[in-house]
Chain A
């Protein structure tokens, strides 16, 4: 992969990722509506929402909120760019975490009880999913003999048959990151109200649009990481199927379950995530995988 090609693909990724994220969100709402026996909004609805939000008059509770909304979007885009540039996977995750941290910090900077609750709950969600994402890089690195994403491409063999335990753990983490039931604790998506709107209560208008865009980029990045589990062997379209398949599983779980509480979320994520990944590493050691 020459440098020029990498840079071009980074630019393409930055432009295409929110389109993909928004479309997925629209299809999400449509499918959810059909699962609930109704018709649902058009597929392009999220784009209408974002454009409408961008056109609203700017109001804010304080200046930090605005700064953190921009920072959230900018850092997640940076993480995506680093990912496309085939950099070290741990570094990509660390930049992603820095970006994800800006959302609760912005919420915590407003003196409103709803915002404070939402911000703290967002930190607890972070506590649940961050270790799993970090730990998941270890089996990947063990298999591809290194952390950079380029190693996975050079490895030449698909990862999923060996690392399906890690994949399941990553699905759990994905559900928490996407804030889907049963993990929609910091701000609910479908019910639209959880402690008013939780962490995004005080954001409005264009700044809310920035956060929404950031979430789309985040989803695109995470689905791409899941797609890494099968990138070689000429079946490149399989990685897209894996990404979309995981997303669909999230949708099913979301519609089938109710919201649970944060302590269950953290315990579940930590216990299930670490044990699955530890088992995977153990099996790699024993040579079974």
Chain B
């Protein structure tokens, strides 16, 4: 593997977007970023800015109000990028599936690479998901 692939795998920068979540998964994501789990050892940094981010962590289902914002943020991220849907709501709509305002899971709006089920998803699962997403970077461009 070339230096570029290794670097991409070793330096994933996150953008965390709460799409419609009850904040349960968001709390777990923020817990993963604390020194207890220390994700910086993988080079993971939480950037608040799509232009700097490689990995988009989305919680909550997509609805008719915020799907536009979600797509806008996705398009402002430069390639290569990966999307991780965190929590059951992000995967399929979860508890809110078929509710009036809800479109469904995130994958109805943008392509998703890794799904993390759970309500709320555990921090260890979230870290595992990011590491799994790195596999996509390693193979990018081939």
- The answer to whether A202 and B51 touch (CB under 8 A), given A48-B10, A48-B11, A52-B7, is yes
List the interface of chain A (C-beta within 8 A of B): 29, 33, 36-42, 45, 47-49, 51-52, 54-59, 192-193, 196-197, 201-205, 208
B79 lies within 8 A of chain A by Cβ: yes
CB distance from A194 to the nearest CB of B (A): 10
Give me the 6 closest cross-chain CB pairs, A-B, nearest first. A204-B51, A51-B7, A38-B38, A57-B79, A38-B35, A48-B10
Instruction: Decide yes or no: A40 and B38 within 8 Å by CB, A48-B11, A55-B4, A59-B78 being known contacts.
Output: yes
Given the known interface contacts A38-B35, A48-B11, A59-B51, the answer about A192 and B41 at a Cβ–Cβ threshold of 8 Å is no
Residues of A with C-beta under 8 A to B80: 55-57
Q: B27: which A residues are within 8 A, CB to CB?
A: none
Residues of B within 8 A of A56 (CB): 54, 78-80
User: Is A205 within 8 A of B78, CB to CB?
Assistant: yes
- Give the chain B neighbours of A48 by CB distance below 8 A: 6-7, 10-11, 43
Q: Would you give the 0/1 interface string for B100-129, flagging 1 where the beta carbon is closer than 8 Å to chain A? A: 000000000000000000000000000000
- Check B8 against A52 for contact (C-beta < 8 Å): yes
Starting from the known contacts A47-B7, A59-B51, A204-B52, 13 additional A-B residue pairs (CB-CB under 8 Å) come to A33-B38, A38-B38, A39-B41, A41-B43, A42-B10, A42-B41, A49-B7, A52-B4, A52-B7, A54-B4, A56-B78, A193-B46, A201-B51
Contact between A197 and B48, CB atoms less than 8 A apart: yes
B7 close to A55 (CB less than 8 A): yes
Q: When A and B form their complex, what is the total count of cross-chain residue pairs whose Cβ atoms lie within 8 Å?
A: 83
Report if B135 contacts A (CB, 8 A): no
Assess whether A192 is in contact with B38, with CB atoms less than 8 Å apart: no
A242 to B59, CA, bound (A): 48
> Interface range on chain B: under 10, 10 to 19, 20 to 34, or 35 or more?
20 to 34
Which residue of chain A has the shortest Cβ distance to B6 in the bound complex?
A48
CB distance from B29 to the nearest CB of A (A): 15
Evaluate contact between B38 and A197: CB separation under 8 angstroms.
Answer: no
Minimum C-beta distance from A200 to chain B (A): 8
Task: Check B46–A192 contact: CB distance below 8 A.
Answer: yes
Contacts of A52 in B (CB 8 A): 4, 7-8, 10-11, 54
Known: A196-B48, A202-B51. A57 touches B7 (CB 8 A): no
Q: Which residues of B are at the interface with A, using a C-beta cutoff of 8 A?
A: 3-4, 6-8, 10-11, 35, 38, 40-43, 45-49, 51-52, 54, 76, 78-80
Cβ contacts under 8 Å, A38 to chain B:
35, 38, 40-41
CB <8 Å contact, B40 and A40: yes
Question: In the complex, are the beta carbons of A58 and B78 less than 8 A apart?
Answer: yes
With A and B bound together, what is the CA distance between A41 and B43 in angstroms? 6
Chain A: which residue is nearest B47 at the CB level? A192
Taken together as a complex, chains A and B put the C-alpha atoms of A112 and B20 apart, in Å, by: 25
Are B41 and A40 closer than 8 Å at their CB atoms? Answer: yes
User: How close is A116's CB to chain B, nearest CB, in angstroms?
Assistant: 15
5 pairs, CB–CB < 8 Å, chain A vs chain B: A33-B40, A49-B11, A52-B10, A57-B79, A208-B52
Contact status A36-B47, CB under 8 Å: no
- Residues of chain B with a CB closer than 8 A to A41's CB: 40-43
Tell me which of B38, B47, B78, B79 contacts A39 (CB under 8 A).
B38
Residues of A within 8 A of B10 (CB): 42, 45, 48, 52
Q: Which residue of A lies closest to B48 (CB)?
A: A193
Tell me the minimal C-beta distance from A18 to chain B in angstroms. Answer: 15
Query: What residues on A are CB-neighbors of B78 within 8 Å?
Result: 56-59, 204-205
* B3 nearest CB neighbor, chain A only: A51
Bound complex: CA of A208 vs CA of B45, how far in Å?
15
